[in-house]
Chains A and B, each alone.
Chain A
């Protein structure tokens, strides 16, 4: 059984087609990173799964329950943290959690223990009697997580939980998510920053203007991103002929003659790094520095998503 299964999801807002046929298959226990620039359609997809967007095409199932046919049952299975924390000017953290405990119809006898548990987990025990609106942004975000843990859902839908947090709160959030992952929850988490999710997620999907441009395990994505490599080279006796020879070598896509180095972009599979080394050596150049580098994530991300924007 899949925890989340989305097939050919399409969402329209008037004339704008925000999501153009996305498919997801997420087995239980996975942490799925949903990555894409602003306006790509991440929130829209998550809202469909959270039963907050009834108008969509395609199918969406959570724990094998159809979102379209049985949204009431789906709501018992999910915990949704929206990308904003609404204003609760009148409640304390305790009242806030008890409010939702009652809304989720937790048995009366268990409520106090459950509330204490989730507060402990989210490290908010000290703030139990503070007004919700007086909490910092990071604490509000953790309180949100505490809220969705009350009814022990199988699937957590977190829409940009780390946006707007300072580095410390970000790290705390990541630790908390790791703990949830250990608890065996299936988590869908969206972000527009790739490296924010890299260490945490087991699977990543990259979305751009409503289309999934890459999807797979973190290792697979890395492999795809690693397709292009850059080698930084310094030689003692650099000459224009060397540059020209490098440019005409098969497997080299781009040679950048910089002040202190030559940056050579090679295509993996066609040319090995070792062969490049030998080739330069064979040209009679005396190598001072030879430094292969996997393209950094952000550049790769730009590379992957470029041309998709239409």
Chain B
């Protein structure tokens, strides 16, 4: 660890030897690199950097080990056969490095300037003699060097690969050039975002969006470029190209990407001053306001300005916080929520109308996409709203005066969430319409005659109609917890989305893994008989009831692997047993909901630092040891 943190200082000098044509002049203008030195020293002081590096190493080596395992344990694997197979492994290693650059570097770099804006120290930096170009370049280099230290961690792996043979020296050099060029390119985009945006979270999101877009463009660009490149050197034409020949292509690519980076850095240095003191603005609110304007204009032009839903004005009577959440906060007003409802219902009604008029009988439901659409919108809306109830109050520094009122903690929490609760009620409407129509539709398409079919119908109906009632409140409380604990709403939103992904995916992933493992031991047995735990685990994922197909997916669980086409392994008398997974599923989430709610109520006062009755400490003098 220690040695890798010191490498930057030795790395700081050589860049002029590398093909930084434009950078070389910039660097030679700086007698010393004060900012770069400061940034590197700061980084080596931060604990987070070390933790991240260890994490990175663990993931890198774990992944490499796994890949090594899959490559060498193939049908042709083992012993000397591996000799010469380093090339395969080498490509994978370089790819891992590339993904690491795409994923990590923006995260490290996007805060470079925004953090100084947030801490109000950028002004001081701009007052120094350092020019904007110097500041941008040194900030950028410090991050690229930091990334370099991450990548140095993979050196041993490259050594192993080189030992396996099959990798040319030229390939190694080419990879280094390519990775360096990519690092600088990604970092230059991030630094541009960092100079442009006001907050780190804005820069963070926009960097990823931009990097994604640009790498898409570059891919396209490379295709064109590649065809030009072929004229200089065709790797398939000559069997053993000379080193210079082999390095021609990567060098050209690198120069190409440096030009891009140079442009970004140039723009960044221009924007540094111009956007140094932009006032923070709530992008989300801006979006909502523009949507509002759009809807108002639409309303004016279509109906001549008839207002169907008018928010009741008036003064708070009994529950002041509820009043404020549902009347005054823009996201909580009925007007906005009604619009979300329209957004969801309009396409559904359109499809229903189309289906009814066509009268087509089709086994595949025409509504397949709707649950995904609804859940996506619902997740976004509920997350944004529920993470904001405390985070926004905290950001505006208006929480304290609320906490000194005699309202109890649970009153504050429940009233604060009243806007979200109403949003959920409104969001349930499209789900209900969908479920009702689907029920009618499936009854129309496949009139259930057997007990099994009827049972399927009811299973599906119950699970799809229960899901919104359970999962939206769960989401609300998860968002509330994160909004309560994390520093900014952006962090809370990201954390909530991450939590949702984990809750949905992790049980399925683990179940799949266990299942695969068990398949190796006992093939030909139904999933339930092979790995009952894995089956139970897969019942836990919310996806199971949100997007239910095939009656809670039960058939797969009990179907014998040898006879995949036999639909019913369960005898009819056990039909009722099929309600067990559903009960477990919703029982589990009911419990989760209750726990989340209770822990939110219990921890609220503690987290916001509000006194709750404690036992009186009898003696005061006892503490006087210090």
The chain B residue sitting closest to A108, CB to CB, is B317
Are B400 and A52 in contact, CB atoms less than 8 angstroms apart? Answer: yes
- Tell whether A102 pairs with B317 under 8 Å between CB atoms, given A68-B614, A76-B406, A86-B397: yes
- Tell whether A69 pairs with B610 under 8 Å between CB atoms, given A75-B406, A90-B324: no
Are B620 and A102 in contact, CB atoms less than 8 angstroms apart? Answer: no
- Tell whether A54 pairs with B620 under 8 Å between CB atoms, given A69-B615, A75-B405: no
Are A104 and B406 in contact, CB atoms less than 8 angstroms apart? Answer: yes
Are A54 and B398 in contact, CB atoms less than 8 angstroms apart? Answer: no
- Check: B48 CB closer than 8 A to any chain A CB: no
- Check: A147 CB closer than 8 A to any chain B CB: yes
Return the CB mask of B319-350 against A: 1 if under 8 Å, else 0: 11101100011100000000000000000000
- Check: A17 CB closer than 8 A to any chain B CB: yes
Are A95 and B613 in contact, CB atoms less than 8 angstroms apart? Answer: no
The chain A residue sitting closest to B614, CB to CB, is A68
Q: Which of B367-424 contact A (CB under 8 A)?
A: 393, 396-408
The chain B residue sitting closest to A105, CB to CB, is B406
- Check: A279 CB closer than 8 A to any chain B CB: no
- Check: A1 CB closer than 8 A to any chain B CB: no
The chain B residue sitting closest to A20, CB to CB, is B626
Q: Give the segment of A77-85, A227-235, A296-304 that binds chain B.
A: A77-85
How distant is the Cα of A76 from the Cα of B402 in the complex, in angstroms?
A: 13
Are A54 and B614 in contact, CB atoms less than 8 angstroms apart? Answer: yes
Are B404 and A78 in contact, CB atoms less than 8 angstroms apart? Answer: yes
* Residues of A close to B610: CB separation below 8 A: 51-52, 54, 71
Return the CB mask of A44-78 against B: 1 if under 8 Å, else 0: 00000011111101110000001111111011101
For B611, give its contact among A67, A90, A100 (CB under 8 Å). A67
Are B620 and A71 in contact, CB atoms less than 8 angstroms apart? Answer: no
How distant is the Cα of A182 from the Cα of B156 in the complex, in angstroms?
A: 79
- Check: A91 CB closer than 8 A to any chain B CB: yes
- Check: B612 CB closer than 8 A to any chain A CB: yes
Q: Which of A159-192 contact B (CB under 8 A)?
A: none
* Residues of B close to A8: CB separation below 8 A: 620-621, 623-624
How distant is the Cα of A20 from the Cα of B625 in the complex, in angstroms?
A: 12
- Check: B617 CB closer than 8 A to any chain A CB: yes
Give B620 Cβ to nearest chain A Cβ, in Å. 5
For A72, give its contact among B317, B606, B613, B615 (CB under 8 Å). B613
Are B617 and A51 in contact, CB atoms less than 8 angstroms apart? Answer: no
Return the CB mask of A87-102 against B: 1 if under 8 Å, else 0: 1111100110011101
* Residues of A close to B624: CB separation below 8 A: 8, 21
Are B609 and A86 in contact, CB atoms less than 8 angstroms apart? Answer: no
Are A104 and B405 in contact, CB atoms less than 8 angstroms apart? Answer: yes
How distant is the Cα of A52 from the Cα of B408 in the complex, in angstroms?
A: 14
**Helix, strand, loop or mixed for chain B's interface?**
loop
The chain B residue sitting closest to A153, CB to CB, is B404
For A59, give its contact among B318, B403, B620 (CB under 8 Å). B620
* Residues of A close to B330: CB separation below 8 A: 90
Give A191 Cβ to nearest chain B Cβ, in Å. 19
Are B320 and A80 in contact, CB atoms less than 8 angstroms apart? Answer: no
- Tell whether A103 pairs with B615 under 8 Å between CB atoms, given A8-B623, A82-B400, A108-B317: no
For A68, give its contact among B323, B397, B406, B611 (CB under 8 Å). B611
- Tell whether A58 pairs with B620 under 8 Å between CB atoms, given A52-B611, A53-B611, A104-B405: yes
Are B620 and A86 in contact, CB atoms less than 8 angstroms apart? Answer: no
- Check: A257 CB closer than 8 A to any chain B CB: no
- Check: A7 CB closer than 8 A to any chain B CB: yes
- Check: A42 CB closer than 8 A to any chain B CB: no
- Check: A10 CB closer than 8 A to any chain B CB: yes
* Residues of B close to A88: CB separation below 8 A: 396, 398
* Residues of A close to B405: CB separation below 8 A: 75, 100, 103-104
* Residues of A close to B613: CB separation below 8 A: 68-72
- Tell whether A90 pairs with B329 under 8 Å between CB atoms, given A51-B610, A102-B319: yes
* Residues of B close to A94: CB separation below 8 A: 315
Q: Bin chain A's interface residue count.
A: 35 or more
The chain A residue sitting closest to B322, CB to CB, is A102
- Tell whether A82 pairs with B621 under 8 Å between CB atoms, given A54-B614, A105-B406: no
How distant is the Cα of A108 from the Cα of B314 in the complex, in angstroms?
A: 14
How distant is the Cα of A76 from the Cα of B609 in the complex, in angstroms?
A: 18
Are B621 and A52 in contact, CB atoms less than 8 angstroms apart? Answer: no
For A86, give its contact among B316, B399, B626 (CB under 8 Å). B399
- Check: B358 CB closer than 8 A to any chain A CB: no
Give A187 Cβ to nearest chain B Cβ, in Å. 16
Give A139 Cβ to nearest chain B Cβ, in Å. 16
How distant is the Cα of A99 from the Cα of B314 in the complex, in angstroms?
A: 11
Are A17 and B626 in contact, CB atoms less than 8 angstroms apart? Answer: yes
Give B559 Cβ to nearest chain A Cβ, in Å. 57
* Residues of A close to B42: CB separation below 8 A: none
Are A95 and B316 in contact, CB atoms less than 8 angstroms apart? Answer: yes
How distant is the Cα of A57 from the Cα of B615 in the complex, in angstroms?
A: 12
* Residues of A close to B399: CB separation below 8 A: 86
How distant is the Cα of A304 from the Cα of B405 in the complex, in angstroms?
A: 38
- Tell whether A54 pairs with B612 under 8 Å between CB atoms, given A8-B621, A87-B396, A102-B319: yes
Give B498 Cβ to nearest chain A Cβ, in Å. 28
* Residues of B close to A78: CB separation below 8 A: 404
Are A147 and B401 in contact, CB atoms less than 8 angstroms apart? Answer: yes
Q: Which of A87-136 contact B (CB under 8 A)?
A: 87-91, 94-95, 98-100, 102-105, 108
- Tell whether A72 pairs with B406 under 8 Å between CB atoms, given A17-B626, A54-B609, A57-B617: yes
Give B405 Cβ to nearest chain A Cβ, in Å. 4
* Residues of B close to A89: CB separation below 8 A: 396
* Residues of B close to A71: CB separation below 8 A: 610-613
Return the CB mask of B590-626 against A: 1 if under 8 Å, else 0: 0000000000000001100111111111001101101
* Residues of B close to A87: CB separation below 8 A: 396-398
The chain A residue sitting closest to B398, CB to CB, is A86
Are A80 and B401 in contact, CB atoms less than 8 angstroms apart? Answer: yes
Give A115 Cβ to nearest chain B Cβ, in Å. 9
How distant is the Cα of A142 from the Cα of B329 in the complex, in angstroms?
A: 24
Are B397 and A53 in contact, CB atoms less than 8 angstroms apart? Answer: no
How distant is the Cα of A108 from the Cα of B616 in the complex, in angstroms?
A: 36
- Tell whether A91 pairs with B401 under 8 Å between CB atoms, given A54-B614, A75-B406, A102-B319: no
The chain B residue sitting closest to A57, CB to CB, is B623
The chain B residue sitting closest to A66, CB to CB, is B616
* Residues of B close to A20: CB separation below 8 A: 626
Give A226 Cβ to nearest chain B Cβ, in Å. 33
* Residues of A close to B407: CB separation below 8 A: 103
Are B397 and A84 in contact, CB atoms less than 8 angstroms apart? Answer: yes
Are B402 and A59 in contact, CB atoms less than 8 angstroms apart? Answer: no
* Residues of B close to A105: CB separation below 8 A: 406
Q: Which of A1-35 contact B (CB under 8 A)?
A: 7-8, 10, 17, 20-21
Give A140 Cβ to nearest chain B Cβ, in Å. 12
Are B401 and A82 in contact, CB atoms less than 8 angstroms apart? Answer: yes
How distant is the Cα of A232 from the Cα of B401 in the complex, in angstroms?
A: 51
Interface set of A (CB-CB < 8 Å, partner B): 7-8, 10, 17, 20-21, 50-55, 57-59, 66-72, 74-76, 78, 80, 82, 84, 86-91, 94-95, 98-100, 102-105, 108, 144, 147
14 contacts between A and B (CB under 8 A): A7-B620, A52-B611, A53-B609, A54-B614, A57-B620, A71-B613, A88-B396, A91-B328, A95-B315, A95-B328, A98-B320, A100-B320, A105-B406, A108-B317
Contacts A52-B609, A71-B613 known; 17 new A-B pairs at CB < 8 A: A7-B620, A17-B626, A51-B610, A57-B617, A58-B623, A69-B616, A71-B610, A72-B613, A80-B400, A86-B399, A89-B396, A91-B328, A98-B320, A99-B316, A102-B320, A103-B406, A144-B401
Q: What 9 pairs between A and B have smallest CB-CB spacing?
A: A86-B398, A102-B320, A71-B611, A87-B396, A51-B611, A103-B405, A90-B328, A54-B611, A86-B397
